[in-house]
A = this chain, B = another copy of it.
C-alpha cells in the first residue's frame, strides 16, 4: 500500500475508568476533524435483555462480535471506511450504525480493543487506561446513582459482580500495552485532584527515554511486573511549572509545545493535563513518522 493510512490507537480499560473523557480531550487536542472514534460497546453481540436471558455480562468476549470489530480495524488500517454498530446505554439496545472514515487518527476505546493478538498487532499505540479502584467507585456512584437512577448499594453490588470478568477478559490487556496510564487519588485539598502514573515495557520505555534527555526533570522509575513482563513506572503527583512542561513536551513530538498551549495558560500544569499533553504529542509524533515513511515510499516508487 502506498496511500497514507490512519494512526490506529487502542485504549483499553474497565467501564468507568474515564476512557470516553480521555478520548474526547485527545480528539480536541489532535483536531476533532482529524480523529475518528470507535466505541467498542457498539460491537456487543447481545443486547441487555439477551445478556440477561443467557446470564452473561457485556465484559465476556462471547457477548461481543469481536470478529466484526477485528475486520473493521483491518479495513480502517487499509484506508477503507466501515459501517460500525452503535450501542445505546440508555435503551440497552442498538441504534442505527454509523460510517467511520479512516481519518488521520482512529481511536478505539472499550473493553477488548487488544485482547486478541491479531488485533493487538494492528495498532500503532496500545494504551491501557487504568484508574485506581477508589476513583472508579467514586465516579461510578456519581454517574450511575445520579444520572442513571441506581442506589449506591446497587452500584457497589454491580462493581463486585463484574470483578471476575474484568480479571479474565479486560486486565490481560495490561501485558499487551505499550503504555499503561493509571490515575490515582491524591491527598490534596481539592477532592478531584488526581496523580498519573505511566508504566512502560522495560524493553521499550518511550517516555522514560524522553525524560532522560531533559536535565530539568529527574526521573526515578520504579520497576513493576505485569503478566510476566517488566515495566518501568513513572509517576506525576505534583503540579509542574509550565516552563518545565514546555521543555518536556518539545522533546515529545513535533507539536508538543503547541499542544501544551491548548491545554493551559496557567503557570502550572496538573498531572492529568500533563498526561493528556504527553499522549497527544506522542500521537502527533507517530503521525509524522508514518507520513515520512509513506513519502519515502512514494519517492522510491516514482524515481
Contact = CB atoms under 8 A, between A and B. Distances in A.
A118 interface: yes
A70 B65 CA distance: 12
Nearest to A67: B66
A84 to B, nearest CB: 14
Contact of A116 (B50, B71, B115, B121): B71
Contacts of A53: 50, 53-54
A74 interface: yes
A61 interface: yes
Contact of A67 (B46, B50, B69, B75): B69
B62 A46 contact: yes
Contacts of A70: 67, 70-71, 116, 118
Nearest to A60: B45
A117 interface: yes
Given A53-B53, A54-B46, A116 B62 contact: no
Interface in A128-165: none
Contacts of A119: 67, 71
A68 interface: yes
Contacts of A73: 118
Contacts of A281: none
Contacts of A69: 67
A74 B67 CA distance: 12
A64 interface: yes
A90 B117 CA distance: 32
Contacts of A66: 65-68
Given A74-B117, A75-B117, A54 B64 contact: no
B74 A118 contact: yes
Contact of A65 (B50, B54, B61, B71): B61
Given A54-B46, A54-B54, A65 B62 contact: yes
Interface string A248-261: 00000000000000
A266 B206 CA distance: 69
A95 B70 CA distance: 26
Contacts of A75: 117-118
Contacts of A46: 54, 62
Interface string A66-99: 1111110111000000000000000000000000
13 contacts: A45-B62, A50-B53, A53-B53, A61-B65, A62-B65, A64-B67, A66-B66, A67-B115, A70-B70, A70-B71, A74-B116, A74-B118, A74-B121
Interface of A: 45-46, 50, 53-54, 61-71, 73-75, 112, 115-119, 121
